[in-house]
Amino acid sequence: MAPQNVARKLIASHLLEGEMIPGQEIGLRIDQTLTQDATGTLVMLELEAMGLERAATEVSVQYVDHNLLQTDFKNPDDHLFLQAICQRFGIWYSRPGNGVSHAVHMERFGRPGRSLAGSDSHTPAAGSMGMLAFGAGGLDVAFAIAGEPLYLRMPKILGVELVGALPPWVSAKDLVLEMLRRHDVKGCRGMIVEYFGDGLAGLTAMDRHVIANMGTELGATTTVFPSDEQVRRFLRLQRREQDWVELIADAGCDYDLVERIELPALEPLIACPSSPGNVVRVREVEGRPIYQSYIGSSANPGLRDFWIAAEIVKGLRAHERVSLDINPTSRALIENLARLGSFQQLIAAGARFHQAGCNGCIGMGQAPATHQISLRTVPRNFPGRSGTKEDLVYLVSPETAAASALAGAITDPRDLEKLYGLSCPRFAEPEDQAINHDLIAPAPSAGIAERFERGPNIKALPLFAPLVDDAEVPVLLKMDDDISTDEILMAGARALPFRSNIPAISQYAFFAIDETFAARAHVAKEQHGGHVVIAGDNYGQGSSREHAALAPRYLGQIAVIARSYARIAWQNLANFGILALTFVDPADYDWIEQGDQFAFSDLRERVAAGGVIVVRNLTQRRDVRCAHQLSERQVRAVLAGGLINQFRQQRGV
C-alpha cells in the first residue's frame, strides 16, 4: 500500500460509505460525540423526535459551557432538562462551571485514532491529539449519537510543513493567525489541514489545540496532527497514558497540496476588526489605546496560555483604563493556576476572574464599550459578536493581550524587554497537575425511563412541510460575501436563552442585518407561502448552530441562492429542508434586487433531476439559472422537508 498521511489513515479506518475521492460524499463511523448547551438542547429534542433509546457511541458527552448566565428560569431549566435527558440516553453530563467543552473533552475523553462529531464548529480542536474531529449541525450529531454515519464531502488534504522553532514572544496563536493571513476565512474550504515537519516537536498538545481550533476560521473541514510523543506526554499528565496510540504519517506520503511555514520567521500577529482573516503584524497597529484585554476561550485554553500572561503582569498593574478579563478554561485550570501562583499574580495585577466557560467569547457578558478596542484571545471577531454592535475586537495571542494590558495600548510583546526589562518566560509544564472532574456525571449504564419536567421555554421541534412544487415568493434579503452565522442568528445574551425555543428565537433571524426581517418574513409567509434570500460567497461561515437554518425555515424560507456556502451551514440547510442553490453564472448575483419576486416551478422534479434549475425573476422579467450540489441522500431529505421527516417516514413514525 502507498504511504499514507495521518488524515487519510484516520478516514480509511472510519469509512463506512463512499470512496476517498475528493469531492465525493463519504459516510464515517463516529466513535464519540460532544454537544454543548447552546446547541445540545435541540440535539436532545431531536433524539426524542427520532425515538432514540440509548446512545450508540463509545462515549457521548453533553457540556454546559456557553450560557452560564442565570438571569431567569430559562437557563437553569435548560440545565436540568439536559441533566435528566442525558441520564435517559446514557450520555455523560458536564455541569455548568466545569469548563469549556473542547479542552475538557481532550483532557478527559479524547483518544488518538478515534473520531468525534460535535455540535460546535470548534470540535476540530481535538485534531490536536490525532483524532478525526468534525464540527457539525446538531441533527448530524444526533444521528451520530444514534449510531448513523456522519456524511461529508471527501476533503483534499493540505499538508503544512512546520520548520524550526517559534522565536521568543511568538506562540501557537501567531502560527494560526499566519495561516489566516495566507488563506483568509475561506481559503481552506473543502480541505483537511494536516501539520507535519520538525517544527511539531516544539508544539505541545495544547499548543496544537490552539491551531486546530482555529482551523475552523480558515473554513477547513478539520485539522489533524499526528499522535506522537507530545500527545503521549499530554495523556500522561492527564493520567491516561494507557489511552495513547501512535499515529504518524508514513515516510514518503504525499498531500494534495503542500506549503511550508518557517517558524523562526514568525512574529506577533493580530486579526483586526471584524474578521479572523483580517490579519496584520502587531507592529502595524501598535499604540492604539485599548479598553479591554480578554484572555481565555477554546482558542487559548492551555495552562501555558494563562501562565504566560500571569508571568508578564507579575509585580505590575494593568493600565488603569484597561479591563483585564480572565476566562479560565476549566476548574482544573483554576486549581493549576492557583498551585503555580499565577492566579494570585493575575489578581494582584488587577485582573477580573470569571467562571470557567465560554462567557464573552460567545457574547455572554464582558461586552466592550462602544467603539472601544477589545483585544481577545478568542477564535472569532465577527461584527457585534461581543454583544456590542459597534465593537472593535482584535484577535491576539496571550502574550500580546498581556503586554497590551500593561501598556494600555496595542503592544508587540517583544517590546516587554525594552519597556520592563522582561525576558521571555519559558514554561516548564508541571508533571503533577491537578485533575478535577468533580462536575462530570457519568453516563448511567441503564436508562432511567421516568418522565421528567421541562421548563416552559423548552418547546418541541416544529414540524415542517415537504418541499413545495410551485411558489411565487419575494427576495426578502440580499446579502454580501462571508455572512456569518452570527449575522444570520446572533450569538449573545439576547437570543441565546431561546436556543430550545424555535418560535421565540426565530424573532432574531437576520436581526443583526435587518431588524425588520422576522416581521417581513411573517407577512411573506402569509401572503406568498414563504421567501428566499440571496447571498454572496461563503454564506454561513462560522458557527455550527443549526438555528441559523431552523429559524429562517420556521419563518417560511424556501431557498437560499448564494455564490457559495460554508460547509456546516450548507449541510444544516439541507437537514432542515431549505434548498441551497448556487448561481450557474455568478454574475447574476449583481442584478438581483431585494424585493424582487421569484417564481419556482416544478421544483420537486427539478431538484430530483439535478442539473440546472431555472428560476424566473418576475419583477425584472429575467431568468436566473441555478444549480444544487446536494447528494442523492440530501435530495431525499430536502424533498421530504428535512431529515427528521425522512427519518420518520422510513420508520413509519
By CB under 6 A, name the one of 6, 10, 34, 38 that touches ligand MIC. 38
Residue 248 half-sphere exposure toward CB, CA atoms < 13 A? 14
Pairing relationship of beta strands 471-478 and 531-535 according to DSSP bridges: parallel
**C-alpha to C-alpha distance for 63 and 104, rounded to whole angstroms:** 9
What would you report as the CA-atom Rg of the chain, rounded to the nearest whole angstrom?
A: 24
Q: In terms of CB distance, is 66 or 114 closer to ligand MIC?
A: 66
Query: Quick check: 43 binds ligand MIC (CB under 6 A)?
Result: no
Burial category of 84 from C-beta neighbours within 10 Å (exposed 0-12, middle 13-18, buried 19 and up): middle
Q: In terms of CB distance, is 228 or 325 closer to ligand MIC?
A: 325
Give which of 589, 526, 585 is closest to 560, Cα–Cα: 589
Q: In terms of CB distance, is 363 or 398 closer to ligand MIC?
A: 363
The distance of closest approach from Cβ of residue 390 to ligand MIC in the complex, given in angstroms and rounded to an integer, is 20
The distance of closest approach from Cβ of residue 493 to ligand MIC in the complex, given in angstroms and rounded to an integer, is 13
Give which of 491, 466, 477 is closest to 604, Cα–Cα: 466
Q: Which among 198-206, 542-550, 577-585, 612-620 is the span making contact with ligand MIC, rule CB under 6 A?
A: 542-550
The distance of closest approach from Cβ of residue 122 to ligand MIC in the complex, given in angstroms and rounded to an integer, is 5
Q: Which residues contact 1 (CB under 8 A, 6 or more apart)?
A: none
The distance of closest approach from Cβ of residue 203 to ligand MIC in the complex, given in angstroms and rounded to an integer, is 23
Query: Quick check: 223 binds ligand MIC (CB under 6 A)?
Result: no
The distance of closest approach from Cβ of residue 516 to ligand MIC in the complex, given in angstroms and rounded to an integer, is 24
Interface with ligand MIC in residues 116-155 (CB under 6 A):
120-122, 135
Which helix (H) or strand (E) is 580 found in, with range? strand 579-583
By CB under 6 A, name the one of 275, 543, 572, 575 that touches ligand MIC. 543
By CB under 6 A, name the one of 8, 14, 54, 66 that touches ligand MIC. 66
Query: Quick check: 491 binds ligand MIC (CB under 6 A)?
Result: yes
Helix residue ranges per DSSP H, 26-164: 37-50, 74-89, 101-108, 138-145
Q: In terms of CB distance, is 134 or 598 closer to ligand MIC?
A: 134
Q: Is 190 left (phi over 0), alpha (psi -120 to 50) or beta?
A: left
Q: In terms of CB distance, is 192 or 362 closer to ligand MIC?
A: 362
Cis ω before 342 (30° cut-off from 0): no
The distance of closest approach from Cβ of residue 121 to ligand MIC in the complex, given in angstroms and rounded to an integer, is 3
Q: Which among 92-100, 114-122, 203-211, 472-480 is the span making contact with ligand MIC, rule CB under 6 A?
A: 114-122
The distance of closest approach from Cβ of residue 167 to ligand MIC in the complex, given in angstroms and rounded to an integer, is 30
Contact 411, 396 (CB under 8 A): no
Q: In terms of CB distance, is 113 or 379 closer to ligand MIC?
A: 379
Q: In terms of CB distance, is 314 or 545 closer to ligand MIC?
A: 545
Q: Which among 82-90, 258-266, 324-332, 540-548 is the span making contact with ligand MIC, rule CB under 6 A?
A: 540-548
Q: In terms of CB distance, is 214 or 475 closer to ligand MIC?
A: 214
**C-alpha to C-alpha distance for 155 and 124, rounded to whole angstroms:** 14
Query: Quick check: 209 binds ligand MIC (CB under 6 A)?
Result: no
First to last CA, the chain: 46
Burial category of 591 from C-beta neighbours within 10 Å (exposed 0-12, middle 13-18, buried 19 and up): exposed
Q: In terms of CB distance, is 18 or 97 closer to ligand MIC?
A: 97
Query: Quick check: 39 binds ligand MIC (CB under 6 A)?
Result: yes
DSSP track, 517-549: HHHHHHHHHHHHS-EEEEE-SSBTBS---THHH
By CB under 6 A, name the one of 545, 553, 606, 628 that touches ligand MIC. 545
**C-alpha to C-alpha distance for 127 and 106, rounded to whole angstroms:** 10
- The amino acid at residue 367 is A
Contact 294, 366 (CB under 8 A): yes
The distance of closest approach from Cβ of residue 36 to ligand MIC in the complex, given in angstroms and rounded to an integer, is 6
Contact 288, 409 (CB under 8 A): yes
The distance of closest approach from Cβ of residue 568 to ligand MIC in the complex, given in angstroms and rounded to an integer, is 8
Query: Quick check: 544 binds ligand MIC (CB under 6 A)?
Result: yes
By CB under 6 A, name the one of 362, 410, 555, 637 that touches ligand MIC. 362
Residue count, binding to ligand MIC (CB under 6 A): 13
The distance of closest approach from Cβ of residue 334 to ligand MIC in the complex, given in angstroms and rounded to an integer, is 21
What are the angstrom distances between the C-alpha of 259 and each of 20, 80, 121, 256, 280?
22, 48, 24, 11, 20
3-state secondary structure of 3: coil
Q: In terms of CB distance, is 297 or 646 closer to ligand MIC?
A: 297
Footprint of ligand MIC (CB under 6 A): 38-39, 66, 120-122, 135, 362, 491, 542-545
